[in-house]
Homo-oligomer: A and B are copies of this chain.
Amino acid sequence: MLNCIYLLAITAEAMTGALAAGRRKFDMFGVLVIAFVTALGGGTVRDIFLGHFPVAWTQHPAYLYLVLCAGLLTMLIAPYLRHLQTIFLVLDAMGLMAFTLIGCNVALTMEYRVPVVMMAGLATGIVGGILRDVLCNRVPIVFRHEMYASVSLLTAGLFLLLRSAGVDTDLNTAMSFMAGLSLRLTAIWRGWRLPVFALAQRSNAGGKRGALHD
């Protein structure tokens, strides 16, 4: 079931990537590259920092084709997507949960410790969107909007907690998935955000000495 949701998820992610690329007026090819990076970039980065080779998508060309089709489709139906935004948000939320749980599982298979497992889940969930935003030259949206990355981490935490309590893996996956999904959808619906840490931009006293890091 998680696998099936995963396929929906990479489709949805590829479409958000293609839409972002369209806002930057990329050519067709650029759109497909961004779709690919958004959908499969998170898993790739996870596999790389866990040292989990070969990287997942290289063993499943079907993912690649799915992502390319989703990118092409997005260019065709973009004018109609406006009316589908709710569906999109739900698909994306489902994708975030599926990505997170799959990422945790990969790290667990490799016997990493708990904090690394959580980071693997989180990275799988959010890195694709971060790469998309970096390539489109904008500040990553996951750092500023409603609870998103934090839901991914909470889901990973719940999954590990239930696991250490001895809950059966399938049941655990289903429960963590539903809990995370509910939280994310509630956060969108009620506009829940984490507290923002806002400092003033630096004044443009550019030549200031030792202004090293800020």
| Residues on A facing B (Cβ under 8 Å) | 16, 18-31, 33-34, 44, 48-51, 53-55, 58, 61, 64-65, 75, 78, 85-86, 88-89, 92, 112-116, 119, 126, 129-130, 134-150, 153, 188-189, 191, 193-202, 209-214
**Within 8 Å CB of A139, what residues of B?**
24, 135-137
Contacts of A27 in B (CB 8 A): 143-144, 193-197
User: A58 contacts which chain B residues (CB < 8 A)?
Assistant: 49-50, 112-113, 116, 119
Are B21 and A197 in contact, with the CB atoms below 8 A? Answer: yes
The distance from the CB of A166 to the nearest CB of chain B, in whole angstroms, is 23
Shortest C-beta distance, A200 to chain B (Å), equals: 8
A19 vs B199: C-alpha distance when bound (angstroms): 8
Contact at B26–A212, with CB atoms within 8 Å? Answer: no
Which residues of chain B are within 8 angstroms of A33 by Cβ–Cβ distance? 126, 143, 149
CA distance A119 to B64 in the complex (A): 10
Residue of B nearest to A79 (CB): B199
Neighbouring B residues of A50 by C-beta, 8 Å: 54-55, 58
Are B136's CB and A89's CB within 8 A?
A: no
Q: In whole Å, how far is A110's beta carbon from the nearest beta carbon of chain B?
A: 9
Residues of B within 8 A of A48 (CB): 48-49
A201–B51 alpha-carbon span in the complex (Å): 39
Residues of B within 8 A of A51 (CB): 53-55
For A148, give the chain B residue with the smallest CB separation.
B212
Given contacts A58-B116, A139-B136, A210-B188, contact A22 B130 (CB under 8 A): no
CA–CA, A125 and B119, complex, Å: 23
Contact A23 B213 (CB under 8 A): no
| Contact A143 B199, beta carbon cutoff 8 Å | no
